[in-house]
Amino acid sequence: MHVFSGAHYKNHKPCVGHVRAEWMLVPEFDRFEDPEVQLLKVQVVKARLTQQDFKLYFEVDNPNDSSLFVRGLNYKIMLNEVVLADGKSSDWFFVDGHSQKTFVVPIRTNLWGHARYIAQLLKKPDELIHYRFEGKLKTGMVFRHSVRIGKSGDVAPYELIQHRK
């Protein structure tokens, strides 16, 4: 935190009845580093014909001295440019300075409209499937800030079919 005192107001002359703030605490925004956010794992909870439940496990790494207030996450998950899930989590939590915290986002989706497409992808075990995760981690209470996160890559079809662990 920067601490400002009356010395910063060289030309300021207080008059009678005027109260001057001698000490004012202002956060060091110039030293704030965005947190690192990683998608650790996708867990299949239930997979029914018309509804699928997953849990997304994330880790937030706060590189700053002060605690980080997280107030939610907006996300989108795609396979080969087909949107599988698009939503938001509004869970609030703090990540202490210079520490990490894991949080879980439950998602529910209906892949019925994409069933034929997904079945075709899964029938070709030798062809990798491109995936992309995009999101915005919403931080701050008074001074709100969003951190863009994303991950993309290729995954083998057998890796998409994992059971609960």
Q: Is there a domain that residue 45 lies in?
A: yes
Q: What three-state secondary structure class fits 158?
A: helix
Predicted confidence at residue 89, as pLDDT, reads 93
> pLDDT per residue over 99-112, tens digit each?
999 999 999 988 88
Q: Is there a domain that residue 59 lies in?
A: yes
> pLDDT per residue over 30-77, tens digit each?
578 999 988 888 888 998 888 999 998 999 999 999 999 999 999 999
Cα(83)–Cα(128) distance, integer angstroms: 17
Question: Residue 21 pLDDT more than 90?
Answer: no
> Distances in Å between the alpha carbon of 4 and those of 9, 26, 36, 96, 128?
9, 8, 31, 26, 57
Predicted confidence at residue 162, as pLDDT, reads 55
The whole-model pTM stands at 0.68
Residue 126: domain span? 33-160
Q: Is there a domain that residue 66 lies in?
A: yes
Q: Is there a domain that residue 21 lies in?
A: no
> pLDDT per residue over 86-143, tens digit each?
999 999 999 999 999 999 999 998 888 888 888 888 888 888 999 899 999 999 888 8
Q: Is there a domain that residue 26 lies in?
A: no
Q: Is there a domain that residue 73 lies in?
A: yes
Predicted confidence at residue 119, as pLDDT, reads 84
Say how many domains are in the chain: 1
**Domain holding 67: CATH number?**
2.60.40.10
Q: Is there a domain that residue 148 lies in?
A: yes
Q: Is there a domain that residue 39 lies in?
A: yes
